[in-house]
A and B are shown apart, each in its own frame.
Chain A
Amino acid sequence: MSQPQIIQVFEQYQKARMQFVQSVALLAVRPHNTGGLQNVGVMALLRPLLLDVVPKVQQTAVLALGRLADHSEDLARVLVKEDVLPPLVHSLASQNRFYKKAAVFVLRAVAKHSPELAQAVVACGGADALVLCLEEFDPGVKEAAAWALGFIARHNAPLAQSVVDAGAVPLLVLCLLEPEIAIKRIAASTISDVARHTPELAQSVVDTGAVPHLAQMMLNPDAKLKRQVLSALCQISKHSVSLAEMIIEADVFPAAMSCLKDPDVYVRKNVTTLMREVVKHTPELSLMIVNCGGVAAVVDYLGDCRGDLRLPGIMMLGYVAAHSESLAMAVILSKGVPQLAVCLSEEPEPHVKAATAWSIGQIGRHTPEHAAAVTRANLLPKLLELYVDAASSEDLQAKCKKALKSVLQMCTYLPELESLLYDAPSNILKHVVCQLSKVLPHDSKARRLFVSSGGLKKLQEITAEPGSALQEHINTINNCFPEEIVRYYSPGYPEALLERVENYQPA
């Protein structure tokens, strides 16, 4: 055969390979094709192509593998089992940037599914190779590597630790300084994934000086970047007081509140979460947030959003109020209680309701003044209703009960207490009657009102075990009324009177 003929054969073969790989890669884009591709044994065919002489074929094969692994965990597992990863990782150092990007994509696709797969990626030196890729000049490669590291670190603390040990964090911080928005986003998200697990990991992130950069980027106009940055900040601050103080020191706070009016809901949610994480540590931190008007802003935020987005805001109010009575007063003053009442009635989700009930309990438990604020919003009947409702979850019931108890123990507003007398179950009734027994002996007008509104009658109808606390409280109340009145309102009184008429012997 002549030379041109030989060449023609080879060209033909190369074209066919190229076409094959490209079409597999195209097919792999659709998730529903993966099953079919797997059934026809695509792995066995792609695997030799990874070592193809033509770089373009190689790289497209890697890309196809990455897409397949991205869609199905099974295929990802097969990839790990057939030891495809180690050669990929080794070739990362030598190949061009397109190949690197594709290979890093494969690593990411494998690592994203489960901790075991991510562990497999780390075990074959993936983390170190990815960190090397972070040093690459090409922004695409950097971004892909940061993304893959984020997926690895996301699963659990040991994996995140291995990412940190590979020295990724300083490079990620450098990535934050890149001009490309996409790299910034990914770097911020990876930092947040690393910092979320343990205080030590968060500390290692802080030690690389990430916080000032993150704080600086918080006001970037790009919404997605803001989301990631804020989530990173809140993952850092959630662990300990010192870390939260670090965040405060970076002057995050009055500035972050402007994000509460961002058009993007997740930015708003993340800001609120950040506030919650900062606030929960100490009264001083809460005071700082309260003083810069954070509570009012969060209350407004609660008015703007619905559903799960409200949860961090609700909890933030609860955490602030839990610290001290003046902080709880600040929440009340910022019109937090009516807002929480709205949340309690609007939200269908039981866990949001439970959080709201908890927050209300935290606000009302400090002084009678606080309890009065809660009662004025007409929250006690609502809480009681939720507590009694058989449809509400166990957690919600427990939270409602706790809130009711803590508010009732401070409540001195009699009409509200009386209304509770009628439909409260005995374990709540105990607290209601206890409050009544504390207030009535000292207030003659209230005693009169209590009798005329029928409270005394209701009280006599309560059957309590003799010797129980409830009975004692009832006795205390009875003691502050004349005996005839008490007897008059006792349930069997008409019969007793009639009996006396029968037994009466006229002289």
Chain B
Amino acid sequence: MTTCKPTRKNNMTELHVIQSALEEFQREYFNRNSQAEENRRREHQAATQIQSWFRGCKVRAYLSYLHKKAIIIQKIWRGFTARARFRQMVKAAYFIMKMNFYEEMAVRIQRRWRGFFVRKYIHNFYARKRYLEGLYRKNEVVRRELRELEELQKRARESLEMVKEQRAKVKQAHHLHHLLSTKQCPGIFNSPFRPDPHEMELLLKQVKYQAPTRLASREEACALGMPGQAPPSLPGSPGSPGIKTTRTSNASKLKLPPIASRKQQDVFREPGEVWQQRVHCPDLTSRLQACYAQLEEAQSRLRQHESVRLRIGDNTGIQQRDKICTLPAEQQQRCFYSLGRRQELQIADYTQTPRGEVLPGTMGWLIRRLRANQVLYTTMSGHVCVCRRSEHFLPFTLD
């Protein structure tokens, strides 16, 4: 439409040209459109392909970029951690090495020490050897001593046997005294056909004849068997101690001196005894020995003594005085404790006593503590009283 100029003819041709051009154009347009319509799908696909490729490229490039970065991060991190771990490992290995070394050294020291210690004190070879030698010697000594002891015992037994035998022989000789040979007639032990008489004959000669003593019929009680007679039937009983009962009948065999002869007792005492009796001055009883003023004297003496002591220990304070109050020896205290009941009676009497004070020098014995601040107390003069402990000067006041 751009070529529309004012000349009519021209205009008409121009119009015609224009119209043909328009048609041309329309046709062209239509063709193109249809062509375009035909190609559209293909082109679209191609375009998509192109796009997809491009986009793919882009994303891949991005991804590979990311990968690269990630690898960088990873390698740095991994390197970092690995280095840290390596450092740790080295440290640990070094530590272990050190520990091993220390332990080895410790073992070395312990080995030396233990070896030394054990050799010296526990398995001391020489001490053990000495001990065993000592033991050997000791064993020898013991063996010898036991042998000697046995020998001794045996000899003692034998001598006892011999004595017994001899006594039996003598007793027999007593019984056989009538077989002694006389001047006229040889006895049976003195056979004329023998070169020398039998030893019994000699014994018979030695033994002095004794008239037989008439023994009382001592067996009368035997029929009545006391249990004393039972045991002989028991010796086989299992595990019985094999013990015979004491026999009361043994006593009857003992020959006692006749009771009637009081002659044997001497009328006079021994000269030494008589002399003792003359010289001896009988002990005075304690009452006689003591002076009547003794108690007072003792008290005053004690008071003096005590005042001196107090003066010396004055500045040491109350504790010292406490001590003085409980001063007497423990034995004395114990003695008082043992008196027990009787004193309690005395206390009952003395609780009534008027209130007073213990003099500074008075010496006394603590009997027992009644309460926290009260004690039972006895003065030297023998008064028993209950004392209360006061704060000031005196340890106890007299109730």
Selected from B141, B150, B226, the residue in CB contact (under 8 A) with A261 is B150
Give the distance to chain A from B328, nearest Cβ to Cβ, in Å. Answer: 35
- B216 close to chain A: CB less than 8 A: no
Most chain A beta-carbon contacts within 10 A, residue among B131, B225, B241: B241
Are the CB atoms of B139 and A101 closer together than 8 Å? no
Are the CB atoms of A66 and B227 closer together than 8 Å? yes
Interface flags for B139-159 (1: CB within 8 Å of A; 0: not) read 111110011011001100100
Cβ of A262: which chain B residues have Cβ within 8 Å of it? 153
Of residues 113 through 141 on chain A, the ones whose CB sits less than 8 Å from some CB of chain B are 139-140
In the complex where A261-B146, A261-B150 touch, is A185 in contact with B243 (Cβ < 8 A)? yes
Segment at the interface with B among A157-165, A290-298, A482-490: A290-298
With the chains together, A152 CA to B243 CA distance in Å? 17
Are the CB atoms of A333 and B243 closer together than 8 Å? no
Are the CB atoms of A67 and B230 closer together than 8 Å? yes
Are the CB atoms of B241 and A105 closer together than 8 Å? no
Cβ of A31: which chain B residues have Cβ within 8 Å of it? 233
Segment at the interface with A among B32-40, B173-181, B244-252, B302-310: B244-252
Are the CB atoms of A22 and B138 closer together than 8 Å? no
Interface flags for B220-238 (1: CB within 8 Å of A; 0: not) read 0001111111100110010
Cβ of A330: which chain B residues have Cβ within 8 Å of it? 132, 135
In the complex where A261-B153, A330-B135 touch, is A63 in contact with B243 (Cβ < 8 A)? no
With the chains together, A326 CA to B127 CA distance in Å? 12
Are the CB atoms of B224 and A189 closer together than 8 Å? no
Cβ of A60: which chain B residues have Cβ within 8 Å of it? 224-225
Task: Considering the complex, give the chain A residue whose CB is closest to the CB of B148.
Answer: A261
Are the CB atoms of B243 and A224 closer together than 8 Å? yes
Are the CB atoms of B139 and A296 closer together than 8 Å? yes
- A258 close to chain B: CB less than 8 A: yes
- A375 close to chain B: CB less than 8 A: no
Are the CB atoms of B243 and A186 closer together than 8 Å? yes
Of residues 233 through 273 on chain A, the ones whose CB sits less than 8 Å from some CB of chain B are 257-258, 260-263
Are the CB atoms of B143 and A300 closer together than 8 Å? yes
Are the CB atoms of B132 and A333 closer together than 8 Å? yes
Selected from A22, A183, A297, A326, the residue in CB contact (under 8 A) with B128 is A326
- A329 close to chain B: CB less than 8 A: yes
Cβ of A75: which chain B residues have Cβ within 8 Å of it? none
- B95 close to chain A: CB less than 8 A: no
Are the CB atoms of B230 and A290 closer together than 8 Å? no
Cβ of A300: which chain B residues have Cβ within 8 Å of it? 143, 146
Cβ of A263: which chain B residues have Cβ within 8 Å of it? 153-154, 157
- A102 close to chain B: CB less than 8 A: yes
Task: Considering the complex, give the chain B residue whose CB is closest to the CB of A26.
Answer: B225
- A98 close to chain B: CB less than 8 A: yes
With the chains together, A262 CA to B150 CA distance in Å? 7
Number of A positions contacting B (CB below 8 A): 53
Cβ of A105: which chain B residues have Cβ within 8 Å of it? 227, 230
- A112 close to chain B: CB less than 8 A: yes
Give the distance to chain B from A130, nearest Cβ to Cβ, in Å. Answer: 14
With the chains together, A147 CA to B231 CA distance in Å? 11
Are the CB atoms of A291 and B135 closer together than 8 Å? yes
Are the CB atoms of B146 and A140 closer together than 8 Å? no
Are the CB atoms of A258 and B149 closer together than 8 Å? yes
With the chains together, A340 CA to B158 CA distance in Å? 33
- The main secondary structure of chain B at its interface with chain A is helix
With the chains together, A467 CA to B142 CA distance in Å? 55
Cβ of B230: which chain A residues have Cβ within 8 Å of it? 29, 63, 66-67, 70, 105
In the complex where A139-B246, A185-B241 touch, is A25 in contact with B139 (Cβ < 8 A)? no
Selected from A30, A102, A154, A326, the residue in CB contact (under 8 A) with B227 is A102
- B65 close to chain A: CB less than 8 A: no
Interface flags for A211-232 (1: CB within 8 Å of B; 0: not) read 0000000000000100110000
Give the distance to chain A from B59, nearest Cβ to Cβ, in Å. Answer: 70
With the chains together, A102 CA to B230 CA distance in Å? 10
Task: Considering the complex, give the chain A residue whose CB is closest to the CB of B225.
Answer: A25
With the chains together, A27 CA to B138 CA distance in Å? 59
Of residues 58 through 111 on chain A, the ones whose CB sits less than 8 Å from some CB of chain B are 60, 63, 66-67, 70, 98, 101-102, 104-105
Are the CB atoms of B227 and A296 closer together than 8 Å? no
- A448 close to chain B: CB less than 8 A: no
- B242 close to chain A: CB less than 8 A: yes
In the complex where A140-B248, A261-B153, A263-B153 touch, is A101 in contact with B225 (Cβ < 8 A)? no
Are the CB atoms of A182 and B233 closer together than 8 Å? no
Give the distance to chain B from A438, nearest Cβ to Cβ, in Å. Answer: 22
Selected from B154, B224, B233, the residue in CB contact (under 8 A) with A67 is B233
Give the distance to chain A from B223, nearest Cβ to Cβ, in Å. Answer: 6
Give the distance to chain A from B164, nearest Cβ to Cβ, in Å. Answer: 15
Of residues 276 through 310 on chain A, the ones whose CB sits less than 8 Å from some CB of chain B are 290-293, 295-297, 300
With the chains together, A23 CA to B229 CA distance in Å? 14
With the chains together, A261 CA to B229 CA distance in Å? 33
Cβ of B258: which chain A residues have Cβ within 8 Å of it? none
Cβ of A147: which chain B residues have Cβ within 8 Å of it? 241, 243
In the complex where A63-B227, A105-B227, A293-B139 touch, is A224 in contact with B242 (Cβ < 8 A)? yes
- B282 close to chain A: CB less than 8 A: no
In the complex where A63-B227, A330-B132 touch, is A257 in contact with B142 (Cβ < 8 A)? yes
Are the CB atoms of B241 and A63 closer together than 8 Å? no
- A418 close to chain B: CB less than 8 A: no
Task: Considering the complex, give the chain B residue whose CB is closest to the CB of A108.
Answer: B227
Are the CB atoms of B246 and A183 closer together than 8 Å? yes
Of residues 330 through 363 on chain A, the ones whose CB sits less than 8 Å from some CB of chain B are 330, 333-334
Most chain B beta-carbon contacts within 10 A, residue among A66, A186, A330: A330
Are the CB atoms of A333 and B146 closer together than 8 Å? no
Give the distance to chain A from B225, nearest Cβ to Cβ, in Å. Answer: 6
In the complex where A31-B233, A290-B135 touch, is A297 in contact with B143 (Cβ < 8 A)? yes
With the chains together, A104 CA to B135 CA distance in Å? 52
Are the CB atoms of A63 and B245 closer together than 8 Å? no
Selected from B142, B150, B243, the residue in CB contact (under 8 A) with A189 is B243
With the chains together, A70 CA to B136 CA distance in Å? 53
Are the CB atoms of A182 and B245 closer together than 8 Å? yes
Give the distance to chain A from B228, nearest Cβ to Cβ, in Å. Answer: 7
- B271 close to chain A: CB less than 8 A: no
Are the CB atoms of B228 and A293 closer together than 8 Å? no
- B212 close to chain A: CB less than 8 A: no
Task: Considering the complex, give the chain B residue whose CB is closest to the CB of A296.
Answer: B139
- A180 close to chain B: CB less than 8 A: yes
With the chains together, A105 CA to B226 CA distance in Å? 10
With the chains together, A213 CA to B255 CA distance in Å? 34
Give the distance to chain A from B234, nearest Cβ to Cβ, in Å. Answer: 7
In the complex where A66-B230, A293-B139, A330-B135 touch, is A144 in contact with B128 (Cβ < 8 A)? no
In the complex where A67-B230, A67-B233 touch, is A140 in contact with B143 (Cβ < 8 A)? no
- B239 close to chain A: CB less than 8 A: yes
With the chains together, A75 CA to B187 CA distance in Å? 60
In the complex where A258-B149, A261-B153 touch, is A296 in contact with B241 (Cβ < 8 A)? no
Task: Considering the complex, give the chain A residue whose CB is closest to the CB of B239.
Answer: A154
Are the CB atoms of A189 and B241 closer together than 8 Å? yes
In the complex where A31-B233, A224-B243, A263-B157 touch, is A257 in contact with B248 (Cβ < 8 A)? no
In the complex where A257-B146, A297-B146, A334-B139 touch, is A29 in contact with B225 (Cβ < 8 A)? yes
With the chains together, A139 CA to B247 CA distance in Å? 10
Q: Can you offer 19 A-B residue contacts whose CB atoms are under 8 A?
A: A31-B233, A63-B230, A67-B233, A101-B227, A101-B228, A102-B227, A186-B243, A189-B243, A224-B241, A261-B147, A261-B149, A261-B153, A263-B153, A297-B142, A326-B131, A330-B132, A330-B135, A333-B135, A333-B139
Apart from A63-B227, A263-B157, A333-B136, what 5 extra A-B contacts exist at CB < 8 Å?
A105-B230, A140-B245, A154-B239, A257-B146, A262-B153
A residues within 8 Å of B by Cβ? Answer: 22, 25-26, 29-31, 56, 60, 63, 66-67, 70, 98, 101-102, 104-105, 112, 139-140, 143-144, 147, 150, 154, 180, 182-183, 185-186, 189, 224, 227-228, 257-258, 260-263, 290-293, 295-297, 300, 326, 329-330, 333-334
Going nearest first, the 7 A-B pairs with the smallest beta carbon separation are A293-B142, A296-B139, A261-B150, A189-B241, A105-B227, A182-B246, A101-B227
